[in-house]
Each structure stands twice: as structure tokens, then as C-alpha cells.
Amino acid sequence: MSETDATARAGGPWQYARELEAAQSAALEAGAILERHFRDRAYQIDSKGKDNPVTTADFEADAKLKELLRGGFPDYGWLSEETADDGERLNRERVWIVDPLDGTKEFIKGIPEFVVAIALTEAGSPVLGVSYNPIKRELFAGGAGYGCQLDHAPAAVSATRTLDHATILASRSETSRGEWKNYEGSMTVRAIGSVAYKLALVAAGRADATFTLTPKSEWDIASGTALIVAAGGRVTDVHGDPPRFNKKSVKVPGLIASNGHLHAALERLIGVKPR
């Protein structure tokens, strides 16, 4: 999508058109790096902790995103899973929040359920998101006041209004640990890797909702949050509050993301407790 396309879709000049175009180009270039490593399997694997692998593909994609996005917007802050955080971003109004490879475990296992995830936040709010699955060639893009697209075609959340007709995307890790057994009778549960990918699929109407009670990092959810809100859906944490970004602590206490129609029912099911 060109800047002209973004302007036309918004019905006039859209203030983040240049950033959206840059984010999509960066996602495609980082995605090409991931695809190459996914095909040739020549990357190295390390660990950042229990059940938290990282690969040389993560770092190479991160370097490309940093080159393109920080290079193109030097006044913007930077928060990435694979870049040491020096806190400088806290002094910036606009901040790129990225995960160069969300779904590393699936990537290693050869499962094509991972994305490059890029978000831009302004004053703590996600104003645009881009998520790209380089194996399935799915490019999700959207933002506040612009709308959502999947592969340059308009996309929106689903219209499903009851849980018994809903498809809810679950974490592969959580389902393998049996954490979703209590929910399986009331809705269709489908396990998919990558938090950011699940959120993008909900934004595009490919599923109705996703949720997790496990704390997530800002880079896991920033892009998907922007996409879902742009597509007409709703995202809150497990206390019922919309997530805020570019905070000193990057952890978000769980997440509920839906088409909006199902949100209240999911909050009741999970037992959301307001602060």
C-alpha cells in the first residue's frame, strides 16, 4: 500500500500514512529474513529462560526493523523484544513497539504460525499496527481513524454474538497444559501459536476472540491491539481496562480481545475483576 492508498482509504490525509507505509515495508523485509531461515533451517537457537527460546533469525530481523524504522524516524522511541531497553523511550511521545518474530517456538518447530509484529504508539495509545506472516503471505495493517486491511483489502471483526457459536483462539502452550479444558464445552477452541498472530486473525474476522490469563509483554500485543480496535473490536486486560503502552514495566496482566459483541460474555466466563 502506498501513502496515496492510505490517504484515499481514510477519505483525506491520514496523519500516520507515512509511518504505516514504512511499517509495512519493514515487515515485508524482516519477513523475508524469517522466511529464508525457516526454509534453510540454518539458524542457531539459544535460550532467554525457561520455555523462552531465541534464534539468530530473531536478531537478524530485529536489526532490519531497527535499521528501517529507527533510521526513518529518528525522533521516535524504540521498544523491541530483542533490543536491550535503556528506558530512553519513556521520554518520547511516539514509540515503535516491535517483536521481530512472535511465535519463535512455532518457527523452530516448522509451524507457520508466527509473525513480524510492529506497532506505533502515541502517548501510550496504539495508533497503528502491522503484523506479517511471511509463510502464509498474510499482511495485516491498520490504525486509529484508518480501518483495518488484510492483504490490502478491507477487513473487520466478525459479527458473532454468542459464545456457543464462537471460535476462540487459544495458546498452544496453555492448551497443552490443560488450562483451556474448562472452556471447551461452551465454545469452539482452536489452538494457534503467536499471540500477535491470534490477535491479527481476530481483527480480520478469521476468529471471534482470544484471551489469556498469563501476563504478556507490550511487544506481544501492541500491534494486534491496534489492529483489533481499528477493525471495530475491543481489547482489555484481565481487569477490564484497555492496555496502555510505553510504560516502565512492559508486562500487561493478561488479555481479552474480541469482536466486541462477545466481550461481556468472555469477561463473565473468565471472572474479570475490576481494579
pLDDT, tens digit (0-9, with 9 covering 90-100), for 205-226: 999 999 999 999 999 999 999 9
Name 192's Cβ contacts closer than 8 Å, sequence gap at least 6: 113, 169, 170, 172, 198, 201
d(CA 137, CA 143): 20
Q: Enumerate the CATH 3.40.190.80 domain ranges in the chain, comma separated.
A: 163-270
Question: Which residue type, as a one-letter code, is found at position 109?
Answer: K
pLDDT band at 2 (very low <50, low <70, confident <90, very high): very low
Query: pLDDT, tens digit, for every residue of 10-39?
Result: 456 799 999 999 999 999 999 999 999 999
Query: pLDDT, tens digit, for every residue of 135-168?
Result: 999 999 999 999 999 999 999 999 999 999 999 9
Q: Enumerate the CATH 3.30.540.10 domain ranges in the chain, comma separated.
A: 3-155
Q: Tell me, which fold does domain 163-270 have in CATH? A: D-Maltodextrin-Binding Protein; domain 2 (3.40.190)
CATH number for the region 3-155 comes to 3.30.540.10
Residue 9 has pLDDT above 80, yes or no: no
CA dihedral of 128, 97, 217, 252, whole degrees rounded to 10: -50
- Write down the residue that cell numbers 500487561 correspond to: 252
DSSP 155-187: E-------GGG-EEEEEHHHHHTTTTGGGTTTS
- Write down the residue that cell numbers 503484523 correspond to: 131
